[in-house]
């Protein structure tokens, strides 16, 4: 009788542990991922949603409700390498929501493509192609709005971003005069703005709530996706 009772107790205990590991973390992950439930355990889940919460603030709570540091959570989740990289990188963080960060990366790729097309056009003195290649990085009201939006959480970022586009306007002015030397000087001047910005700032991907707290903005690009300048 006692032996049967012990077996039943062990089964019940095992069932409780199984449910706790599978379902409670599922609810935690659901909150971290904007309401989308995950079928994986909390510490096994490598999804972006949880990682972004780790970077959202210096203190977080684990599944038991205890406060824990960003370093502790990252290490427990097997992401110690990410923490080590972040610690080595002393640049100023620019808080961005996932959609914003991806949008910014696309912009950077477009900037590189524009410079490549400019140098190709300049080598053959194809002035029409050169002027066309400059357009994606020139100043515009839309670019200005985007620079202010992206830099809302990092002092000085918007000013550098606007300066980059202002310098790109100088490339266009030189191209219209068909002055090879002036174009090269303007391109170099523009690239200095690029290297200065990248040497000063780095992306810090955070969740919507943290971004709103740090910028004072209620904008949520996950609900209202931003449009890429070239996709008008």
The residues spanned by each domain of the chain are: 2-88, 92-231
User: Of 209, 176, 183, which is closest to residue 49 (Cα–Cα)?
Assistant: 209
Residue 90: exposure state from Cβ atoms within 10 A (0-12, 13-18, ≥19)? exposed
Look at residue 14 and tell me whether its pLDDT is greater than 50.
no
Residue 67 structure tokens: 């406060």
User: How many C-beta neighbours within 10 Å does residue 156 have?
Assistant: 12
Domain 92-231 has CATH 1.20.120: yes
Q: What is the pLDDT of residues 157-196, one digit of tens each?
A: 999 999 999 999 999 999 999 999 999 999 999 999 999 9
Do residues 201 and 94 lie in contact, with contact meaning Cβ atoms separated by under 8 Å? yes
Q: What is the mean pLDDT of residues 62-67?
A: 40
């Amino acid at each position: 009788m006692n032996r049967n009772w012990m077996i039943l107790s062990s089964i019940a205990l095992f069932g409780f542990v199984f449910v706790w590991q599978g379902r409670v973390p599922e609810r935690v992950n659901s909150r971290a991922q904007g309401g989308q439930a995950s079928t994986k355990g909390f510490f096994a889940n490598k999804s972006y949603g949880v990682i972004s919460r780790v970077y959202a603030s210096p203190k977080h709570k684990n599944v038991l409700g205890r406060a824990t540091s960003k370093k502790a959570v990252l290490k427990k989740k097997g992401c110690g390498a990410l923490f080590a990289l972040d610690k080595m990188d002393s640049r100023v963080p620019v808080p961005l929501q996932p959609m914003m960060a991806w949008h910014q990366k696309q912009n950077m790729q477009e900037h590189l493509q524009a410079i490549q097309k400019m140098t190709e056009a300049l080598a053959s003195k194809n002035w029409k192609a050169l002027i066309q290649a400059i357009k994606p990085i020139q100043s515009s009201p839309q670019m200005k709005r985007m620079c202010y939006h992206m830099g809302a959480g990092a002092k000085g970022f918007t000013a550098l971003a606007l300066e980059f586009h202002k310098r790109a306007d100088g490339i266009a002015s030189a191209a219209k005069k068909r002055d090879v030397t002036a174009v090269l000087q303007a391109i170099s001047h523009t690239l200095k703005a690029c290297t200065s910005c990248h040497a000063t700032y780095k992306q810090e991907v955070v969740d919507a709530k943290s971004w709103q707290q740090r910028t004072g903005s209620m904008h949520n690009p996950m609900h209202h996706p931003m449009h890429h300048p070239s996709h008008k």
